[in-house]
C-alpha cells in the first residue's frame, strides 16, 4: 500500500547538499521550514527575516493580489536578498496559486475535466507554467486533485469531478504539464498537489468541514489521484485543513508515510495552528507546556509535515522542542533536506535567477498561441445538455437577442482563483457572438437581471471589496427591457448562472439552482414565444429541472476563462462541434446529493422506471432517484450509434490482458466528436462493490456516416479494490463490461476472469 519513492539526486548533488547542511545552524535549518506570505514590494521586516536565513519560501498574498503580476522584476529583488545577502545564499521557493492559468486564464479545472482530453489538460498546465515562471515564480499550488461528489461544496470547481480513475489520469497530465520533462528548466514550475486527503468530502458540503468514511472508500476513491500525482513525480503536496475519520492530515503519520515518501509535504495556510480548533493534542491527547501551538507544531513535524505555511510554529517552537527531547535533530534535518532537495531539483542552486528574464516574460505572457489554446479548450469544455429540434447550431442571420447578467461580463467569466487574470483581456459572450456573426445578423442586448438580489449573499461575496456589479434599475425595469428585446428577435441567447465568487473556496451553497431572480427572467423570456438557448456560467453542477423540461437548448459554458466568449460563440453558430461530457452527476434537486454514478446497488434498489416512490425501496416519495444528467453525459449536434462490444476471449486466466472493441458510427448529418466510455461491473464479490466503474475512454472524431472501431485493453489491475483489511486484491468470477456514450447508457458483454 506504499507509494514508490521518487527519483534520487545524482551523487555529486547529494554531496553538495550534505556539505550545505553541515554548514547550517539550527536556526537556518528551521528557517528553511518557514513559508511566509507577502506582497510586492516586500515589507522591511520580512526582508530582514530573509537576510537572516529565516525564510525558506514565500507565497503571494491574496488581498491585494499583487505577487508577480508585473513580470519578474519585483520578485528578483526578493531572490537577490536571499542569495546575495544571507549568510549561506540559499535561494527561496517563490509560490503562487496558479489554478487554471496564470495571465492567460483557461476554464476552471472542473470544466477542463469535461473535455476528457489529457492533451488539453497538459496544455493548460504547460501554458500556466510558462507564464508563471516568466513572472519569476518557481512553485505553484496546483493541481487540486480532490474528488468532489457534493455540488454544494464550492471547491468542486477546482477539481476534476467525482471519478477516481479519470481524476488520476488528469492528475498525472497536470503534473507533467507544470513540471515538464525537466523540473530545472526555466519554464517549469514545481507542482503542489492538494489537499491531502479527503478534503473534497466535507460533511454537508460545507468547505473546511470534516469527512467520515470507510477506510476502503478512502483508499479506492479519494487516494488514487494523489497516488497518480506521486507516480508522476509531483514535487510537493499540501495538507488539507479538514480531518478524515478523526485525524487531520497535518498529524496523520500513517498516510503521510505510506502515500507521500520523497515528496515535500507542506501545510496549508495556517493549517497547523488550526488543528487547535479541532481539539487535537499530542499523540497522548495532552497539551505540552500549556501551549497548543507548541504541541501541534511538534506533532506535525513528527507526522512528516516539512514546511509550515504561515503557522509560525516551526520557526518559533521547534528549537525548544528539540532541547526538551520531544523532537529529534534527525526529524528537523529530514524536513530541511526535503526543502533543499526541492530547490536543487528546480535548479535554484545552479542558477537562482534563471526564471528572471523580462524578455521571455514579454514574449510568453498572453501570447497569441496561448490565447488560441484557451479558446480551443474552452469550447471543448462546454457541455451540450439539450438541443430539441436541432435548434443548435444557429444561423448567422436574422435578429439575435443576447440577454442576461453574465452576457456582457468580462470579470466573472474568468471564474474563481484567477488572481492574475485581467478582465480587460477577457472576451464576453456578447462580444464573442458579435465577432462570429459579423454583419450577417442584428445582435440586440439587454441585461435582464442582476446576478442575485439576495442581499445576504451579496454582502458575503463583496466582503473583501466590490466583486458583483449591480444595475441600479429595479428588477421589473430590467426584465421588461429584456422581454421587449426578446420579442423583436428570432432567437434568445440567455447567459445566466453564478458569479465567480459563488464557487470556489468558502463558497458552499445550500441552493445550487440558478438564482431565483434569474430564473424569473428565463420564465419571462420563455413566455414571449421566442426560442431560448440557455447558456449557463457556473462552477458546479446546477439543479435545472424547470429549465431542462421547458427550454429547447442548454449549453453549460462553466467559467470559461479569457476566451470564453469566442468559444461559446464558436459552438452556438457551428464553427466548432460540442464535445464536452460531464464529470459529475447533475442532480434534479439538492436533496439527492451526493449522487455519484458508481454508488452500489442496495438490498432494495427499486425500479426508477415504474416505481416513482415506495417506502420499501430506496426511491424518494416526491421525485425520481436518478440524476437529471448522469456522469459522462453530453450531446453533440449529430447522432452516434454503438454496436455490441466484442471481447477477444470470453474466458481469461491471470494477468493475460483483455482486448475489448466496439464499433461507433456517426449516424447523423454533421461531423461530431464522441467520447466512448468503458465501465466495469463486478456483480458478485466478497464485499459490496460499486454498480459500475469507469475504466477507459477514447475520443473519436467521425464524419457523417463514418464508422470506427474503438479498442480498449483491460488487465487485472482494472479489477482491483481494497478489501476490509485494506489489501489490494481482485477476485475471480464474471465481470460485465459496458461501453456507451455515458454511465447510464451502456451496451454490455460479459467475461469470466479466473486466477491462474
Q: What percent of the chain has pLDDT over 90?
A: 89
Q: How confident is the model at residue 509 (pLDDT cuts 50, 70, 90)?
A: very high
CA-closest candidate to residue 105, choices 363, 412, 430, 356: 412
Phi-psi region of 216 (alpha: psi -120 to 50; beta: other; left: phi over 0): alpha
Q: Which pLDDT does position 5 carry in this prediction? A: 53
Tell me the pLDDT tens digit for each residue of 412-470: 999 999 988 999 999 999 999 999 999 999 999 999 999 999 999 998 888 766 678 89
pLDDT at 2 over 80: no
Is the preceding peptide bond at 64 cis, omega within 30 degrees of 0?
yes
Q: Is residue 756 very low, low, confident or very high in pLDDT (cuts 50, 70, 90)?
A: confident
CA gap 120, 657 in Å, rounded: 28
DSSP state string for 589-651: SGGG-S--TTPPP-SS---TTT-S--TTSS-BTTB-SS-SB-TT--B-SS-EEE---EES-SE
> Of these residues, 150, 187, 220, 268, which one is catalytic?
268
pLDDT digits (tens, 9 = 90+) for 41-51: 788 899 999 99
Per-residue pLDDT averaged across 675-690, rounded?
96
Residue 267 has which C-alpha cell?
A: 501545510
State the pLDDT at residue 6. Answer: 65
Instruction: Compute how many other C-beta atoms are within 10 angstroms of the C-beta atom of residue 333.
Output: 14
What does the pLDDT look like over 542-593, one tens digit per residue? 999 999 999 999 999 999 999 999 999 999 999 999 999 999 999 999 999 9
624 pLDDT band (50/70/90 cuts)?
A: confident
Q: What is the DSSP letter of 543?
A: B
Task: Note if the bond before 393 is cis, omega within 30 degrees.
Answer: yes
Burial of 231 (0-12, 13-18, 19+ CB in 10 A): middle
**Three cell numbers written together for 678:** 468503458
CA distance 391 to 270: 51
- pLDDT tens figures, 516-530: 999 999 999 999 999
State how far the Cα of 409 lies from the Cα of 430, in Å rounded to an integer. 8
pLDDT at 352: 97
Question: Which of 129, 119, 70 minimizes the C-alpha distance to 99?
Answer: 129
> Side by side, which strands form the sheet with 532-537?
383-387, 553-556, 532-537, 491-497, 398-403, 441-446
Q: Cell for 257?
A: 508515510
Q: Average pLDDT, stretch 132-155?
A: 96
Res 74: pLDDT: 77
Say what the pLDDT of residue 65 is: 43
Handedness of CA 103, 106, 107, 113 (dihedral sign): negative
pLDDT attached to residue 411: 95
Q: What is the DSSP string of 288-353?
A: GGG-HHHHHHHHHHHHT--BEES--HHHHHHHHHHHHTSS-HHHHHHHHHHHHHHHHHTTTTT-TT
Residue 609: pLDDT over 80: no
Quote the cell numbers at residue 63: 488581498
Q: What is the mean pLDDT of residues 469-495?
A: 97
The reported pTM is: 0.96
Per the prediction, the chain carries an average pLDDT of 94
Give per-residue pLDDT as tens, 406-415: 999 999 999 9
pLDDT at 68: 42
At 545 the three-state DSSP class reads helix
**pLDDT score of 740 more than 50:** yes
| C-alpha dihedral (523, 527, 529, 530), degrees to nearest 10 | -40
> What is the rounded average pLDDT of the residues 280-304?
97
Q: How confident is the model at residue 61 (pLDDT cuts 50, 70, 90)?
A: low
Mean pLDDT value across residues 699-703: 98
Q: What is the pLDDT of residue 501?
A: 94
Domains of the chain: 11-360 (3.20.20.300), 383-579 (3.40.50.1700), 640-754 (2.60.40.10)
**Would the pLDDT of 614 be above 60?**
no
Mean per-residue pLDDT for 184-197?
Answer: 98
Pick the more confident residue, 756 or 131: 131
| CA of residue 752 relative to chain centroid, distance | 37
Q: Is the pLDDT of residue 611 over 60?
A: no
pLDDT tens readout for residues 342-356: 999 999 999 999 999
In the numeric block, which cell numbers belong to residue 7? Answer: 527519483
Task: Assess whether 268 carries a catalytic annotation.
Answer: yes
Least confident stretch, 63-67, 290-294, 385-389, 746-750: 63-67
Averaged pLDDT, 593-606: 86
Q: How far apart are CA 216 and CA 721, in angstroms?
A: 8
How high is the pLDDT of residue 309? 98
Q: What per-residue confidence (pLDDT) applies to 461?
A: 86
Instruction: Give the model confidence (pLDDT) of 162-177 as tens digits.
Output: 999 999 999 999 999 9
Q: What is the pLDDT of residues 227-241, one digit of tens each?
A: 999 999 999 999 999
Between 38 and 666, residue with greater pLDDT: 666
Q: With 80 as the cut, is the pLDDT of residue 63 above it?
A: no
The kind and range of the H/E element at 29 are: helix 26-32
In this predicted structure, the answer to whether residue 328 has a pLDDT above a threshold of 70 is yes
Share of the chain above pLDDT 70, in %: 95
CB–CB of 675/634 below 8 Å? Answer: yes
Amino acid at each position: 500500500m506504499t507509494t514508490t519513492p521518487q527519483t534520487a539526486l545524482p551523487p555529486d548533488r547529494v554531496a553538495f547538499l550534505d556539505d550545505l547542511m553541515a554548514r547550517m545552524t539550527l536556526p537556518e535549518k528551521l528557517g528553511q521550514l518557514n513559508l511566509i506570505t507577502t506582497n510586492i514590494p516586500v515589507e522591511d521586516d520580512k526582508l530582514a527575516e530573509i537576510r537572516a536565513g529565516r525564510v525558506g519560501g514565500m507565497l503571494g498574498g491574496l488581498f491585494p493580489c499583487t505577487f508577480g503580476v508585473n513580470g519578474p522584476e519585483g520578485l528578483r529583488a526578493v531572490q537577490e536578498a536571499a542569495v546575495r545577502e544571507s549568510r549561506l545564499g540559499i535561494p527561496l521557493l517563490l509560490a503562487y496559486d496558479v489554478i487554471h492559468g496564470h495571465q492567460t486564464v483557461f476554464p476552471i479545472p472542473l470544466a477542463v475535466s469535461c473535455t476528457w482530453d489529457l492533451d488539453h489538460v497538459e496544455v493548460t498546465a504547460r501554458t500556466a507554467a510558462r507564464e508563471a515562471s516568466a513572472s519569476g515564480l518557481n512553485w505553484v499550488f496546483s493541481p487540486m486533485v480532490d474528488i468532489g461528489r457534493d455540488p454544494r461544496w464550492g471547491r468542486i470547481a477546482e477539481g476534476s469531478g467525482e471519478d477516481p480513475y479519470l481524476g488520476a489520469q488528469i492528475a498525472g497530465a497536470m503534473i507533467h504539464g507544470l513540471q515538464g520533462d525537466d523540473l530545472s528548466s526555466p519554464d517549469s514550475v514545481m507542482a503542489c498537489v492538494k489537499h491531502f486527503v479527503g478534503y473534497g468530502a466535507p460533511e454537508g458540503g460545507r468547505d473546511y468541514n470534516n469527512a467520515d468514511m470507510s477506510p476502503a472508500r478512502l483508499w479506492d476513491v479519494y487516494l488514487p489521484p494523489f497516488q497518480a500525482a506521486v507516480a508522476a513525480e509531483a514535487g510537493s503536496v499540501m495538507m488539507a485543513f479538514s480531518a478524515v475519520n478523526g485525524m487531520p492530515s497535518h498529524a496523520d503519520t500513517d498516510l503521510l508515510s505510506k502515500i507521500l515518501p520523497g515528496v515535500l509535504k507542506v501545510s496549508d495556510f495556517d493549517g497547523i495552528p488550526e488543528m487547535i480548533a479541532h481539539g487535537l493534542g499530542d499523540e497522548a491527547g495532552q497539551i505540552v507546556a500549556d501551549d497548543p501551538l507548541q504541541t501541534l507544531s511538534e506533532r506535525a513535524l513528527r507526522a512528516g509535515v516539512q514546511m509550515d505555511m504561515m503557522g509560525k510554529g516551526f520557526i518559533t517552537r521547534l528549537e525548544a522542542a528539540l532541547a526538551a527531547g520531544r523532537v529529534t535533530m534527525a526529524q528537523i534535518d529530514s524536513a530541511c533536506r526535503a526543502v533543499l532537495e526541492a530547490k536543487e531539483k528546480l535548479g535554484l542552486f545552479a542558477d537562482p535567477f534563471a526564471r528572471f528574464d523580462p524578455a521571455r516574460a514579454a514574449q510568453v505572457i498572453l501570447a497569441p498561441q496561448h490565447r488560441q489554446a484557451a479558446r480551443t479548450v474552452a469550447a471543448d469544455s462546454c457541455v451540450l445538455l439539450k438541443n430539441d429540434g436541432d435548434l443548435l447550431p444557429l444561423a448567422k442571420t436574422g435578429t439575435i437577442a443576447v440577454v442576461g447578467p453574465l452576457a456582457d461580463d468580462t470579470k466573472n467569466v474568468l471564474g474563481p482563483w484567477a488572481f492574475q487574470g485581467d478582465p480587460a483581456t477577457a472576451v464576453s459572450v456578447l462580444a464573442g457572438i458579435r465577432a462570429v456573426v459579423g454583419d450577417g445578423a442584428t445582435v440586440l442586448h439587454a441585461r435582464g437581471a442582476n446576478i442575485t438580489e439576495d442581499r445576504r449573499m451579496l454582502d458575503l461575496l463583496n466582503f473583501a471589496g466590490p466583486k458583483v456589479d449591480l444595475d441600479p434599475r429595479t428588477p421589473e425595469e430590467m426584465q421588461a427591457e429584456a422581454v421587449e428585446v426578446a420579442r423583436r428577435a428570432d432567437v434568445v441567447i440567455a447567459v445566466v448562472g453564478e458569479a465567480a465568487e459563488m464557487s470556489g473556496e468558502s463558497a458552499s451553497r445550500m441552493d445550487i439552482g440558478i438564482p431565483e431572480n434569474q430564473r424569473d427572467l428565463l420564465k419571462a423570456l420563455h413566455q414571449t414565444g421566442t426560442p431560448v438557448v440557455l447558456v449557463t456560467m457556473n462552477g458546479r453542477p446546477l439543479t435545472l429541472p424547470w429549465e431542462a423540461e421547458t427550454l429547447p437548448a442548454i449549453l453549460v459554458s462553466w467559467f470559461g476563462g479569457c476566451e470564453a466568449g469566442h468559444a461559446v460563440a464558436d459552438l452556438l453558430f457551428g464553427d466548432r462541434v460540442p464535445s464536452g461530457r460531464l464529470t459529475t452527476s447533475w442532480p434534479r434537486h439538492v436533496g439527492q446529493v451526493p449522487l455519484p454514478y458508481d454508488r452500489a446497488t442496495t438490498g432494495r434498489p427499486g425500479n426508477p422506471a415504474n416505481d416513482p416512490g415506495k417506502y420499501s425501496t430506496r426511491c424518494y416519495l416526491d421525485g425520481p432517484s436518478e440524476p437529471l444528467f448522469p456522469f459522462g453525459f453530453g450531446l453533440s449536434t449529430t447522432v452516434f450509434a454503438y454496436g455490441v462490444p466484442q471481447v477477444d476471449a470470453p474466458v481469461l486466466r491471470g494477468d493475460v490482458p483483455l482486448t475489448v472493441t466496439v464499433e461507433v458510427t456517426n449516424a447523423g448529418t454533421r461531423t461530431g466528436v464522441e467520447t466512448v466510455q468503458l465501465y466495469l461491473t463486478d456483480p458478485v464479490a466478497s464485499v459490496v462493490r460499486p454498480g459500475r466503474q469507469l475504466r477507459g475512454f477514447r475520443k473519436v472524431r467521425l464524419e457523417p456516416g463514418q464508422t470506427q472501431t474503438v479498442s480498449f485493453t483491460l488487465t487485472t489491475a482494472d479489477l482491483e479494490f481494497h478489501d476490509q483489511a485494506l489489501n489490494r486484491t481482485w477476485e475471480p468470477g464474471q465481470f460485465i463490461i459496458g461501453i456507451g456514450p455515458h454511465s447510464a447508457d451502456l451496451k454490455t458483454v460479459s467475461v469470466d476472469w479466473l486466477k491462474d
